[in-house]
A and B are shown apart, each in its own frame.
Chain A
């Protein structure tokens, strides 16, 4: 009899008709698969505290990591600013990291070239360093309009406003030491 009872109980319609869930929207509709399902947030190896990279509200995020991969990003309920909430962009931010179209290797386009080419990261860094020194030299001004300026007009830079403070700091510091002044940011826009 126990076997029959178990068999009957596993049948949702039977549970709906006999149990406390006559509309079949709760316990009656649960299946074994449902019971076995656990949220990605529950099985994550760790939760890392972060901040949403989109608008400037500064919503705190909980980043769930399993096997060194991001499995979920949610709003941090402890934050006095967002109280756990995220907008569509913040909620989609896992895809920023895991996007299949994300480019994760260096690409190089030679002058007058028609296609991208692959390039080793170290080689690219060396080539960029060469070009920075050459452009700095080419655009160097000791004086302008009779005043000492000690700068280069050969190098310009435009940063986005998702740069960290520490990154902006190193950029401004390095560019200034190089004599580059045409250093700008989305903040102008």
Chain B
């Protein structure tokens, strides 16, 4: 989550769910919380019962809107315009929280003279390279302080890296995401103007950037009445001050856009200006969609990250450990201890084989050099570049956009392993699916060998999930898994054990990392299940005395400590599994610090030092949370302070101070190099230091602000299986969004197979407005066919006023279609797959696809069957001026119509 990471220093939700009940105003935007996080939503209804205003901003009227005081039906893909309008409203009317903004943000920082804004370059920031379609970020930097504490000690390696930071291979490696815990690095602290009047101060840059975001512009772009905008602005600003706080809630309705990270940045700027970060009832609640999706980025199975948001070493920049830590060495903030975190990780993995002499086995780590993310890998599969694939509890042919492309990828592997509970579509692609109907795939052409390995359910194994607000909760094992079903822990432990045994006699240096790996976990029971607690303890880390560490502050760079994920250090403090704590809520305070364990260091609310004023006093009695106790000489309050406990509020760093010592007593954003919340991001976000409105990649509306239509840096994966609908096309005239419903879960493997849930939501449907139904002759309860440049799918039509056509100033009417994405052909409840309709265009920061807005056509009746479907879609492509989508055997390189061999024509 680079949006939050670049703004505040950590990519996690700032507050916790229960704290929503302390809000005076809650804005839910890019999320249907009542439907998708129904039990968490009780805290919103609790706030409402206490008098809070609830606003829901969403193209669709949903269960969340039904509870809200106000529903704002903005046009899909226009949130930056709306939020930018709020920023302007706050600045113009002097409604920002002045003391907070001056003390805790980078508003006073001066930006380089070389920076040129989109407002002066018609939609591009300075530094754009038209050939690579990437930015050189040099001109976005701060104007550096002359005698800064850290810059003077910058190692030569760091200076070199800044040179290569803008290389396409480095940029595309997604370095932005490594700001998940530790803000983006900056060369030095900036010059400041505490009056905020300097024309190059961030505050003034911000004012100029959003000068055109008037209520009228918001109305035109978003398609809502100016009065509605004013109402939201009034409620939000009236509930953001010393006494009152507003919370913003988002979910994948924001992240899944071609400018997704920038959506979150816009909200971060607004909430920072309003002084709502680090305070009870405030914050930005990132609602994540899966049981341990937060955990899956904290301890990532992501190509660009190591545990704790340490970046994967990059081939161009990180030949040695010194080079790897150079960007953090001597820097202010807790990221300044990067070497200790990394050496502890290397010690956890390679134990005695990791020594000071061999750079702690740093060279054992493979290096990345580009985009190796999921979608790129699928394209590589189609080209035959990937031999083997593991699918572990994931069903990409349904859950990922462009199921067709995904299936072609799987059809070109040598082998794949599927670990799941049910026979999901991704395991059966070789025998059934849409391309079998059209004749594009057949078992006889697919050489992929498939192993289906049954998995254990959540009650048949033990371990931790990290929920949406960073709380780790331990699950105990209730029963043994049946037959061959095993946990993924079992599978990977034993696979590793077997591989190590096979290579035991190898003298090939390539095998050393595997043979030297620490892999001796205790096993238990008949099935020889490895101990998850032993793994958790390794993650926590161990000190020189052999005892579990209690804080990452104890980690050392000399190799005397180990620890697999520094941000989780403390989860096994005092040799106790802290994640297993279950002290009843009734027996503890509202923060419930003794239920599970939250990273970092059991701090439930991040940046909570900002809940006190610069002198350490609560901003108000009503919003008292963490504050300075002068008598005791420490920070105290309802939560664990997200600050050094004994650092005085009036502490000023001495010259030459490093890491956390270089942050002042008034710097609450302790993972940032300058200790401040970033209104302007001089680095860390590859598509611009400030968010600006672009239309989605597939839009029926022209960009009102610039001649640049969509995000100029959007990442595409071109191929016949991933054609793009042209913007402003009459052939694909309607906007489409996808979403979840309460009764199903993502790709359906865990819900369409359950009788109760299948009965509650038995079939695939799409929601359309009565106006669109009239326009296209669609009838409620009847079938309709939706068409894109990828394929066509059919669904039952639900005609409902919940979908609202948007009327823009120029008379254009934008029709929007809603489409839940849970279905496919397997399971009890079946239907076509919504994701088959979608293409893949990616946010350049995160490589996350834009599936919350796309275009399509919709016509009455069922879709064509068999090869006729291919011709039907091809005809649409021809009319839209899109290249052919015809493919050869197993989706490989397309062949000409008359090519004969290998052609499916």
Contact = CB atoms under 8 A, between A and B. Distances in A.
Interface of A: 46, 48-60, 63, 65, 68-70, 73, 75-76, 78-83, 85-93, 95-97, 99, 101-116, 119, 121, 124-129, 131-135, 138-140, 144-145, 147-189
Interface in B479-529: 479-489, 492-496, 498-499, 502-503, 510, 513-514, 517
B385 interface: yes
B393 interface: yes
Contacts of B449: 108-111, 131
A116 B452 contact: yes
A132 B388 contact: yes
Given A158-B394, A172-B306, A150 B450 contact: no
A141 to B, nearest CB: 9
B536 interface: yes
Nearest to B580: A49
Contacts of A167: 463, 487-489, 492
Interface string B742-767: 11111000110111110010000000
Contacts of A140: 510
Given A128-B451, A165-B568, A181-B372, 13 more contacts: A56-B293, A68-B480, A78-B582, A81-B40, A109-B449, A125-B494, A147-B315, A158-B394, A162-B458, A166-B464, A178-B499, A178-B514, A184-B301
Interface in B212-255: none
A185 B830 CA distance: 25
B387 A161 contact: no
Interface string B730-749: 00000000000011111000
Contacts of B298: 165
B706 interface: no
Contacts of A128: 417, 451, 495
21 contacts: A57-B17, A63-B459, A101-B423, A102-B753, A103-B452, A106-B454, A111-B447, A127-B451, A128-B417, A128-B495, A162-B292, A162-B458, A165-B298, A166-B463, A171-B488, A179-B366, A183-B303, A184-B374, A185-B394, A186-B746, A189-B849
A132 B374 contact: no
B302 interface: yes
Contact of A172 (B288, B293, B307, B494): B307
B847 interface: yes
Nearest to A99: B753
Contacts of A153: 380, 385-386
Given A147-B367, A165-B463, A99 B414 contact: no
Contacts of B565: 169
Contacts of B745: 54-55, 89
Contact of B498 (A48, A125, A184): A125
A96 B492 contact: no
B388 A163 contact: no
Q: Which 4 A-B pairs have the closest CB atoms?
A: A58-B467, A160-B393, A164-B463, A161-B290
Contacts of A57: 17, 37, 39-40, 467-468
A108 B401 CA distance: 27
Given A88-B757, A131-B414, A183-B303, A162 B291 contact: yes
Nearest to A178: B514
Contacts of A65: 478-479
Nearest to A113: B443
A135 B495 CA distance: 15
A174 B445 CA distance: 33
Interface residues of B, number: 164
A58 B471 contact: yes
Contact of A83 (B42, B479, B494, B746): B42
A92 B756 contact: yes
Interface in B432-462: 443-454, 457-461
B848 A188 contact: yes
Given A103-B421, A159-B393, A164 B293 contact: no
A101 B753 contact: yes
A56 B289 contact: yes
A81 B473 CA distance: 11
B301 A50 contact: no
Given A50-B478, A53-B457, A87-B742, A189 B848 contact: yes
SS class, residues of chain A in contact with chain B = mixed
Contacts of B465: 51, 53, 58, 162, 164-165
Given A56-B288, A65-B478, A133 B499 contact: yes
A181 B479 contact: no
A181 B459 contact: no
B312 interface: yes
B112 interface: no
A164 B298 CA distance: 11
Contact of B301 (A106, A135, A183): A183
B287 interface: yes
Contacts of A102: 421-422, 454, 753
Given A56-B468, A103-B422, A147-B315, A79 B291 contact: no
B296 A105 contact: no
Contacts of A60: 473, 582
Interface in B25-67: 36-40, 42
A157 B517 contact: no
B585 A188 contact: no
Given A58-B471, A105-B483, A106-B453, A92 B349 contact: no
Contacts of A172: 299-301, 306-307
A114 B444 CA distance: 7
Contacts of A180: 366
B458 A92 contact: no
A149 B302 contact: no
B584 A56 contact: no
A9 to B, nearest CB: 38
B39 A129 contact: no
A51 B473 contact: yes
B647 interface: no
A81 B365 CA distance: 39
B39 A59 contact: yes
Contacts of B503: 133
B754 A96 contact: yes
B95 interface: no
Contacts of B393: 159-160, 162-163
A182 B386 contact: yes
Interface in B391-412: 391-396, 399-400
A124 B479 contact: no
Contacts of A95: 754-757
Contacts of B513: 176-179
Given A63-B478, A70-B479, A176-B513, A157 B447 contact: no
Contacts of A152: 366
A156 B377 contact: yes
B489 A97 contact: no
